[in-house]
Amino acid sequence: MNRRPRNPRLDKLIDRAPRDGARVGIISTWDVENNAVRVLSAHLRAAGHHTVELYFKDWVSNHLAPATAEDLDALGRVIRREELNLVCISIRASAYAHQAEIITRYVQDELGIPVLWGGMHPTLKPEEAIGIADLSLSGEGELALTDLVNRLRDRDPELLGTQNVWFRTNEGDPDSIIRNTLRPLVKDLDSLEFRDYTTHDAKYFIFGGKYIQGDPMHGDPVFQMMGSRGCIYKCSYCYNSTYKKDIYPGQKWFRVRSPASMVEEIRAAQSHWDFKRIRFDDEVFNFQQSWLEDFCERFPREVGLPFEVFIEPKLVDEGRMTMLRDAGLSGVYMGIQSSERVTGHLYDRRVKNQNIVDIANLYHRLGIKPHFQLIFDDPVSTEGDKQSLFEMIAQFPHPYDLYLFSMTVFPGSELNKKLLANGLISQYDIDGQDNTRVFYQHRVNLSYPRPVEDTFYIALTQMLSKGFVPKPLLRALSKSTALKKHPWPLIQMANATNFLKMGGMASKMAFNGEMTRTLVRRWLSMDRIITT
């Protein structure tokens, strides 16, 4: 394939890529934890390429400040300083696409450097991505990006045939796009590089019109990592269902690392980072019995730190949870989402309310603290559904936390298709360029304008997690028709309980040395207090 692009930025990239390796920058948009950026960078560095991680701004609770001219100028200074010739942008959700476009236009027009988009959004909306970026990478990126940059270095004539990558070869001509196929999924996750936490000079945090050199996550008390990819379930709201069905049909989507590989990565990080606990951010923690036995024997012996996991209710049983508790499990994150009816019919997660109550009691009996996740602002919940959810949670024993999220509809998701087909949403309600509501209502905030009945039940429900608020009082308030129509007093009470609980949590974290600048920056906001 000897076609040469007529896109001047691609011409420049191909003609001037250094023989000793390309100089690549990978931008994480509003996310300093970004695992993808770290593992992509690790692969490029292992292949000998100068790679820079650029953490552009940070996620702040319900307030993602847009890119300013000062932020872009700071980004430009870093790109010039590092003499980059390719800039990649990781876009984890479609709501970030508009801001990614602003960054892209700046890099293209002011610096004359080609931009590659990768992540969830370019995978779900590749045509939209390649209409803005010079290159777009769909699906898993480690092997594809390394292959692309290797071919740039080697002046490979088959460069434009790199799998997973689309090229815009002629600006202004939508018919001049080269669309390459996807390579198969990585089967052996142990073969991938560990995320790079040892490199610090080639990492920058850009925030408030300035840049700070160094890894913005290094030194955090919590080490976050994943031991798997994909998910065994097909919840309608999740991008995993779309990937499994439409992007990689017929391939094994859920894959796991060996416990030995996970422990090795943790031990490597511990050699230069004194973190206090670990959170495994897998969609669902692997509960295969033989794997679990290996993990529970190996982890306490070789790591010996408390850890947290994400769990799906159908996987919970006392034997597994006891094994994990004895290995150091201190907390679990588990999605309840909504009432039994809504969760089953809208989200394709069929679990009985009583089963959830039984699981909450099991966690309490084993001394494991649960963090239950709920989704509000859906278009189908009736008053009966909201009351049912409230009554179910009212049976949970303390202590526990509630994480309340506002429903997000990802493009191409089964939830997207279901709601559109039934006329319950419009195209403008789908996460993307025209809908960035997730920026200011990701975690539920009681000041957000919504139907008064919804605000009433949200205020009531979130107070259930406060052990100092009597449940009989909340049950009595739930029957008040006056408050249901005029919930302002209830909102004030809910906000007051939030401040009390979060104040106690902050004091405990400060005492344990876990209160970091990142946490203060993200959560200390009196006008955007979230439910917890």
Residue 506 pLDDT: 72
Whether the CA torsion 272, 273, 276, 280 is positive or negative: it is negative
> From CA 142, how far away is CA 185, in angstroms rounded?
11
User: Residues 127-157: pLDDT tens digits?
Assistant: 999 999 999 999 999 999 999 999 999 888 8
Buried b (16+ CB within 10 A) or exposed e, 112-146: ebbbbbbbbbbbbbbebbbebbbbbbbbbbbbbbb
Structure tokens at 207: 């925030």
User: Residues 291-331: pLDDT tens digits?
Assistant: 999 999 999 999 999 999 999 999 999 999 999 999 999 99
Q: Amino acid identity of 481?
A: T
What is the dihedral angle through the alpha carbons of 506, 507, 510, 512, rounded to the nearest 10 degrees? -110
* Residues contacting 408, CB < 8 A, separation 6+: 93, 95, 237, 431, 437, 438, 442
Beta strand pairing call for 165-168 and 135-137: antiparallel
> From CA 401, how far away is CA 418, in angstroms rounded?
30
- How big is the chain, counted in residues? 532
Contact present, 403 and 373 (Cβ < 8 Å): yes
221-254+277-285+307-528 is classed CATH 1.20.120: no
Place of tokens 């076609």: 3
**How far is residue 203 CA from its own chain's centroid?**
20
Residue 199 pLDDT: 82
Structure tokens at 144: 């594809």
Q: Quick one: which of 453, 522, 525 has its CA closest to 491?
A: 453
* Helices and strands per DSSP (H, E), number in the chain: 20, 17
Burial class (CB in 10 A: 0-12, 13-18, 19+), 328: middle
Contact present, 203 and 196 (Cβ < 8 Å): no
| Domain extents in the chain | 8-203, 221-254+277-285+307-528
Find residue 278's DSSP bridge partners.
223, 307
> From CA 259, how far away is CA 355, in angstroms rounded?
30
pTM of the model: 0.91
Contact present, 87 and 76 (Cβ < 8 Å): no
**How far is residue 192 CA from its own chain's centroid?**
20
Q: Quick one: which of 502, 441, 517, 505 has its CA closest to 61?
A: 441
Residues of the chain with pLDDT under 70: 1-5, 17-21, 172, 174, 433, 515-532
Find residue 204's DSSP bridge partners.
54, 213
> From CA 195, how far away is CA 13, in angstroms rounded?
27
> From CA 218, how far away is CA 413, in angstroms rounded?
34
> From CA 367, how far away is CA 363, in angstroms rounded?
6
Find residue 23's DSSP bridge partners.
50
Class of domain 8-203: alpha beta
Structure tokens at 179: 């669309």
Nearest 5°: phi and psi at 457? Answer: -75, -35
> From CA 103, how far away is CA 320, in angstroms rounded?
46
